[in-house]
Amino acid sequence: MQADLLLENAVTRIEGPLLFARREARVGLNAAVEVLAGTGPPRLGRVAALDETSMVIEVLESTSGLALHGTRIRLHPEPLLFGVGPHLLGRVFDSVGRPLDGGPPVAARSRRRIEGLAINPAWRALPRDFIETGIATIDVMNSLVRGQKLPLFSAGGLPHDRLAAEIAQRARLRGTQGEESFAVVFAGIGVPHDAAEQFRLAMESSGALGHTAMFLNLADEPGMQRLLAPRYALTAAEYLAFEEGRHVLVILTDMTNYCEALREVSASHGEIPGRKGYPGYMYSDLASLYERAGCIRGRPGTLTQLPILTMPGDDIGHPIPDLTGYITEGQIVLDRELDRRGIYPPVRVLPSLSRLMDAGIGEGFTDPDHPALAHQLFAAYARALRVRVLASVMGEQGLPESDRRFLAFGERFERQFVHQANARTLEESLEAGWAVLQGLPHGELTRLSNAQIGRHLGAEARA
């Protein structure tokens, strides 16, 4: 293996984040580069293209202050690596894995590529361990399982940070009291300082900070590094999960900032823009992050992702939520109207979905009647919302009796099932679900069998 090489006065041109330099030494595509100028810390970059005499270096940090003369380039023989080791947890890092908490650097046990390598689909194990989050709309209707990637689709001003922190504190397998090795990796991508601090405090107050590693790219730091923070965080998470055998929950927030940075970088490369100016490869790029979640056959750990994104203009059809939804295994959608009405967590259940739910619930996993209950709640609430639209046109009095009962159900569902002041166990959540179904005409509960109705709802109360 060749040693690191230092090139001096090789830079011929600087354009935005791109550095054009003479290729005075052997170097391969994607090799890591450090750009040194003056006395500042080295800036990271990678070789983006090369021919026989020159190369293009993509600087992954700000290029401001770089000059053609006096800028030195240190070439590494390998792509960007992150040295990971046993003492990652309890630490705070910047977006490229340098300690921010004043502590010593992490002793590296292995150096892993930050881009990761694709997990062989034949080696994946199907995620099916139900995670209890304490939130009824998730546990009953959109269940999370270990190894899943389930994003929160939120919008500015909604309590997604609080919800993510609560899930990170509570998420446990049922029946275990946290004796398993559990870890949280938090990647703050362009987040405000106070949001990062709030998360840290929340984890500290629940005593979970010792199991948490944080990677922070704050809002005032260069946009280019927003692309690196999740990669360093996921590299650490993969090590914790698949080498140390921990159950890792990765929180990536805010993926919208990540995509904005991607658009910025793509534009500076002069690439043909796709929808809304985002690059055509955004799907593949996002997939290279999200697909790093999963379970591996024969390895004890799991990697679960909870990415958070804020939908620009509250629009779920915007390319960022749209492409994310095509990659992730479902989504939890937060709603401004529910939030305004004081319902917490303001989860809009109809567009929410968990694709891996069916593998982790029901007989042998949670409760045999859990799937039927979830389907009935979805069907009934969908009808309640349709009736609500009718009622707004014709008035409640103009509705048939059965429609009025669904209208009342809708209100009950939001106030007593979606809204919750405290964490609920799965049993409490299921109980709340059956309770709000009381009062609907049994003949219309088509997703439940007669036996299920008999077991949980008893005889029909006549209105």
17, 45, 127, 301: residue in contact with other proteins (rule CB under 8 A): 127
Query: Is 387 an interacting residue with respect to other proteins (CB under 8 A)?
Result: no
Among candidate residues 248, 196, 203, the one with its CA nearest the CA of residue 220: 196
By C-beta, is 149 or 412 nearer to other proteins?
A: 149
Cβ atoms 133, 116 nearer than 8 A: no
Query: Is 150 an interacting residue with respect to other proteins (CB under 8 A)?
Result: no
What is the distance between the alpha carbons of residues 409 and 100, in angstroms, rounded to a whole number?
A: 51
By C-beta, is 198 or 288 nearer to other proteins?
A: 288
Residue ranges of E strands in 282-377: 294-296, 302-310, 330-334, 347-354
128 to 147, contacts with other proteins by CB under 8 A?
Answer: 147
By C-beta, is 162 or 375 nearer to other proteins?
A: 375
Minimum CB distance to other proteins, residue 453 (Å): 10
Site pattern 328..367 for other proteins (x: CB under 8 A):
-xxx------------------xx-x-xx-xx--------
271 to 310, contacts with other proteins by CB under 8 A?
Answer: 271-275, 280-281, 283-284, 287-288, 291-292, 294, 296-297, 299
- Alpha-carbon distance values, 140 to 21, 170, 315, 433 (Å): 57, 16, 26, 8
By C-beta, is 173 or 382 nearer to other proteins?
A: 382
Scored b (16 or more CB within 10 A) or e, 376-392 reads: bbbebbebbeebeeebe
What is the distance between the alpha carbons of residues 228 and 251, in angstroms, rounded to a whole number?
A: 15
Minimum CB distance to other proteins, residue 120 (Å): 5
By C-beta, is 168 or 353 nearer to other proteins?
A: 353
Query: Is 461 an interacting residue with respect to other proteins (CB under 8 A)?
Result: no
Query: Is 29 an interacting residue with respect to other proteins (CB under 8 A)?
Result: yes
78 to 117, contacts with other proteins by CB under 8 A?
Answer: 79, 116-117
- Per-residue three-class SS string for 59-99: ECCCCCCCCCCCCEEEECCCCCEEEECCCCCCCEEECCCCE
Taking every pair of Cα atoms in the chain, the longest distance, rounded to a whole number of angstroms, is: 87
By C-beta, is 220 or 337 nearer to other proteins?
A: 337
Q: SS3 of 384, please?
A: helix
Residue ranges of E strands in 283-367: 294-296, 302-310, 330-334, 347-354
Backbone angles phi, psi at 31, to 5 degrees: -65, 150
Query: Is 45 an interacting residue with respect to other proteins (CB under 8 A)?
Result: no
Query: Is 122 an interacting residue with respect to other proteins (CB under 8 A)?
Result: yes
340, 400, 451, 462: residue in contact with other proteins (rule CB under 8 A): 400
307 to 326, contacts with other proteins by CB under 8 A?
Answer: 316-319, 322, 325-326
